[in-house]
Amino acid sequence: MSADDAVIDLDAHRDESVGPTTGRARHTVRPRIVLGLVAAFAVGLVLGGWGVDRSREARVRQERDATVALVAVPAGSGGGGVNSGGRARIEGSLAVVNAGPAPITVRSVRAESPTVLIRDFGRTRLIRPGGTGWIGVAVLFQCGEPLAAEPLSVRFSVETADGQVREAHYPVAIVGSDWLNMLSVICGPR
């Protein structure tokens, strides 16, 4: 073997085929894989951000629908009452204002103290946000006895927009109301 045959000149181009080269194919596949991974990552970021935003919206909507905020005041009497054995019964109404962000359905109203009992007539009332609903109630007073607790804590059973039944309490002032004026007529001066 001659010395020229043993030396390989790397600068010289040969026309003969040496076989499949893997170097060139590897360089063309890598950018495609990298671009595919980058695209998948970008799509994942967009979809993930959208999913987080939708989840946050759902949580805010759920909290809003579960909120109960109401105000209640005696709204008047039905024009008469009954005195039976020292107990006055007045049919009146309670104005309930929905101060919350979602509609509510008032299912029941009840309050009890040693001298006063308030209960509804069993009719539900849907009240939109910012709206007022009049709830018919029977108010029972013990004639001749001072009011035990003022204001009276009234318990409301309310169905919220998310379909859950919740309990809410609101203090209702009896003193100065039409109910107390009617009581004076039924029982006599206090």
CA pair distance 182, 29, nearest whole angstrom: 92
Per-run averaged pLDDT (10 residues), the chain, 190 residues: 61 57 55 81 80 76 75 79 79 91 92 89 92 92 77 91 89 85 75
For the chain, how long is the longest CA-to-CA vector? 139
Question: Where exactly are the structural domains of the chain?
Answer: 17-65, 70-187
pTM of the model: 0.64
Phi-psi region of 108 (alpha: psi -120 to 50; beta: other; left: phi over 0): beta
pLDDT at 107: 94
CATH architecture, domain defined by 70-187? Sandwich (2.60)
Q: What is the DSSP string of 127-165?
A: E-TT-EEEEEEEEEEETTS--SSSSEEEEEEEE-TTS-E
